[in-house]
Amino acid sequence: MPPKMPSQPQELTREEIVQLKSVLTKMRDDLYAKEHARKTEGAYEISRDDISDETDLASVETDQEVNMKLAEAERNKLSLIEKALRKIDANDGTYGLCEGTGDPIGFKRLQIQPWALYSLRHQEDLERGRRAN
């Protein structure tokens, strides 16, 4: 018998899209709430007047840098989530299709990363291409 080839992912059903939209909406709302909390708590602000010890100042600056990097990563993720939600709302069949090949991404992959732009195979090809450069 020939080796079994992995099956091509199928296009999403309406029920799967509704489920993924719910997940994306919750993720979006959670990220907005986190960003609001950071701003409210002053995570991006340092008052050098309150810190006299250089070690404490270095520690606070490091914490602030980490907060800024986390916030940037979350803003990038939020952008991808909003793009996915726009595709779903457009109802034009583009959500769940690989932007590189046009093939279905697959429900299992989208359950893990519902904002994915590419099929797993195309994503791996892109990453290999980046490593080769």
In a domain, 7, yes or no: no
Provide the 3-class DSSP secondary structure of residue 92: coil
Number of domains in the chain: 1
Convert the pLDDT of each residue in 21-49 to its tens digit. Answer: 999 999 999 999 998 888 888 655 655 55
Q: State how far the Cα of 105 lies from the Cα of 87, in Å rounded to an integer.
A: 14
CA 34 to chain centre: 15
| Segments of the chain scoring below 70 in pLDDT | 1-7, 42-52, 56-57, 130-133
Handedness of CA 113, 79, 87, 8 (dihedral sign): negative
In a domain, 4, yes or no: no
Give the domain CATH number at 112.
1.20.120.910
**CA distance from start to end of the chain:** 39
> So what's the pLDDT on residue 8?
74
In a domain, 91, yes or no: yes
Nearest to 75 by CA among 115, 18, 126: 115
- Domain containing residue 31: 14-132
In a domain, 78, yes or no: yes
> Which helix (DSSP H) or strand (DSSP E) does residue 38 occupy?
helix 14-41
